Chain A
Amino acid sequence: MSSKTKRKPKIAVFKFASCDGCQLSLLDAEDELLAIVGEVELAYFPEATRAALRGPYDIGLVEGSITTHHDAQRIQQVRRQCKTLVTLGACATAGGIQALRNWKDVDEFVRVVYASPQFISTLKLSTPISEHVPVDFELRGCPISKAHLLELLSATLIGRKPNIPAHSVCLECKRRGQVCVLVARGEPCLGPVTQAGCGALCPGFDRGCFGCFGPVAGANTAALTAQLLALGQKDYQLARLFRGFNAWSWPFRKASEECEKR
């Protein structure tokens, strides 16, 4: 009944440098999709619709990192059009896998990939959205968790804070009763310093965590590094381990640089 009297909130999905995986999570919510679109208006979502309604939008979901001059300007416009701005995933929240360029000479990178580098215009750094504009909420993960996205949308629509876990992957692992690959098998695992969200997938598949959800608050990377070195890992291996999909997030970045320097 209220849907007749009340205007449906407008949602927009914007894409920057990324793989499309995070926005696909919305279409992958097969059981919930039709219910969601009954409650909101997908005003702008090029991956799903030709229709493009003008802003302002109630919620803007941003996927991808900033890697070009043009995108650095576009994100400013996007921010102005959105009441609430939420980043989706490791690219938008931490610069993504493409931030691996940040330690390298980008011009050389372009020469490796492209025959005519003069046609390519790109920034030296791949940076998260929050380095450019204020962000209201950041959803972690590479990719994000569908459950988090649904929680975020419903919470924002009724005006409460989304309830997203802020503990480490280790805790999820324990909760699922999984054997710790680090303690039991001495395998490198970033679980202790990574934020929960995946349900501790990798240890369940007999492998260490490589940090999709980025650093957990208060991540003690120094202690983990010391432990992994004691287990026989080499500095250069650990530098690579911290340099994954959330490499540019401050704790992982610092940890990788320290390992590299030693």
Chain B
Amino acid sequence: MTTASASRTIRVETLARVEGEGALYIKLAGEHVTDVKLSIYEPPRMFEAFLRGRHFSEVPDITARICGICPFAYQMSSVHALEAALGVTIDPAVRLLRRLFYCGEWIESHALHIYMLHAPDFLGFQDAVAMAAQHRELVERALRLKKVGNTLMVVLGGREIHPISATVGGFYKTPRKQQLTALVPELEWALEAALQTVEFTSKLEFPDFEQDYIFVALHHPQEYPLNEGRIVSSSGLDIRAAEYEEHFVESHVKHSNALHSTLRGRGSYLVGPLARFSLDYEQLPREAQQAAVAAGLKPPVKNPFRSIVVRAVELVFACAEALRLIREYEPPAASRVEVAAGPGVGHAATEAPRGLLYHRYLLDDHGLVRAAKIVPPTAQNQKRIEDDLREYAARLSGWPLADATWKCEQAVRNYDPCISCATHFLKVTIEQERP
């Protein structure tokens, strides 16, 4: 350093327990954070480019491959956008099945993140395996919960990673009622386990850290958002998915292979569990609201470290909703409607476990994709993660290096960032200049 102050550098070669790979760089001068960069250097995979020229019916199988953690969310955002482009109306029973499928993905993904990726931070373990040595019951609960979600996906989609049943217009094949009711006992167990998860997470220790977020999520008057809704924000936005691009801008910064999203004129914003909980609390089923109250959660939740409790509340929601949907399920007369190829533009947003996921497609006369746009949740949160760290790292200036680093990693993991989605590899570097 050329300045009078000595510099302090913290480096973590690889930020672990996130889906994918990236790097985090923080520079501190005394108590001031002078630079924060979250770089996502997962190699670009360029889906938006090679979707061009593909037939609309092939799109859901391709978009699933963006992410192995939440393939169904990708399938659904693309299916909904293509249905909008082609003017397709689906059978209401198909819509409910899609919701049920989402519940499976949320259960699987939230259980994985809460217990296996995030809880070890709070309890001071390197990973869930080390945690299992002392808290075997927690890891066993996690695995069984995850399995309930995955089983639901297998029944509906053939397999949990890159399921094969969803298509534009419906499903290739819908399950028999009996296949679903067979899942009820395990789901009832899962609902109990989810309630225990809320209790467990609410007792963890949280740093006293609150941020003034602009929350963005889907909003639907009758239901907690999964498939559809208007895009709303805590700063008064209320638009259709088709208007997304008038309000959200993506820019490309040098340090990242993922694009940065901002809300026009407002800067960074936050999508995901905190945003959904804060904007859609009224739509949560009673069990989930009661669990939230018991855990001391009230919307809006502004402490990102509490996202683990909010995820647990969403786990309660997903289990309760799955049970409701199975009870109400009557197989549709036809598993899908025939869809004729044609030109059109379609937009859609759905709620992936990590937050709002926006897709747009432009189709030509033959139903081939001429242009595609995909904005994954992690790309939308990327700038917000940097903003959190700018605030949070400043409070850690007196901390031992190793502890400060681990805390910053945890602050990133609050977001359950899926860097495969945003494109992957998280590396943490903190430089601190000392007086």
Contact = CB atoms under 8 A, between A and B. Distances in A.
Interface of A: 15-22, 24-25, 27-28, 30-31, 33-34, 37, 42, 46-52, 67-68, 71, 96-98, 100-101, 104, 108-110, 112-116, 119-120, 122, 142-143, 198, 201-202, 204-207, 210, 212, 237, 240, 244-245
Given A17-B42, A50-B406, 12 more contacts: A17-B43, A20-B19, A21-B161, A31-B143, A34-B140, A47-B18, A48-B129, A49-B17, A97-B62, A119-B253, A210-B61, A245-B65
Given A19-B67, A20-B68, A20-B69, A101 B127 contact: no
A20 B288 CA distance: 31
Interface stretch (B144-152, B200-208, B386-394): B144-152
Contacts, number: 188
Contacts of B44: 67, 110, 113-114, 120, 122
Interface of B: 13-21, 42-50, 52, 54-55, 58, 61-62, 65-69, 71, 112, 116-117, 120, 126-130, 132, 136, 139-140, 143-144, 146-147, 150, 158-162, 164-165, 167, 172-173, 250-254, 257, 259, 335, 406, 409, 418, 420, 424-425
Nearest to B50: A100
A112 B370 CA distance: 11
12 contacts: A19-B71, A46-B15, A48-B117, A50-B17, A101-B46, A112-B48, A113-B44, A119-B254, A143-B162, A205-B164, A206-B173, A240-B58
Contact of B21 (A46, A122, A206, A212): A46
A28 B148 CA distance: 11
B21 to A, nearest CB: 6
B48 A24 contact: no
Contacts of A237: 55
B164 A50 contact: no
Nearest to A112: B49
Contacts of B143: 30-31, 33-34
B128 A48 contact: yes
A104 B49 contact: yes
B36 to A, nearest CB: 18
B254 A116 contact: yes
A37 B116 CA distance: 14
Q: Which 9 A-B pairs have the closest CB atoms?
A: A21-B68, A49-B127, A109-B49, A100-B50, A30-B143, A51-B126, A115-B252, A30-B147, A143-B161
B126 A50 contact: yes
A205 B116 contact: no
B61 to A, nearest CB: 6
A248 B173 CA distance: 30
Nearest to B151: A30
Given A28-B160, A100-B50, A206-B172, A37 B146 contact: no
Contacts of B18: 46-47
B50 A28 contact: no
A101 B20 CA distance: 21
Contacts of B424: 15, 18, 20
A30 B144 contact: yes
B54 A21 contact: no
B172 A28 contact: no
B297 to A, nearest CB: 28
Contacts of B252: 114-116, 119
Contact of A24 (B58, B69, B127): B69
Contacts of B259: 114-115
A207 B46 contact: no
Nearest to A67: B43
A139 to B, nearest CB: 14
A92 B253 CA distance: 29
A18 B43 CA distance: 9
B197 to A, nearest CB: 16
A206 B68 CA distance: 23
A4 B252 CA distance: 53
A113 B46 contact: yes
Nearest to A99: B50
Contact of A207 (B127, B129, B172): B172
Contacts of B112: 27
B160 A48 contact: no
Given A20-B424, A21-B162, A113-B46, A49 B16 contact: yes
A14 to B, nearest CB: 10
Contacts of A51: 16, 126-127, 130
A69 B335 CA distance: 46
A229 B143 CA distance: 47
A110 B48 CA distance: 10
B49 A113 contact: yes
Contacts of A24: 68-69, 161
Nearest to B425: A15
Nearest to B62: A97
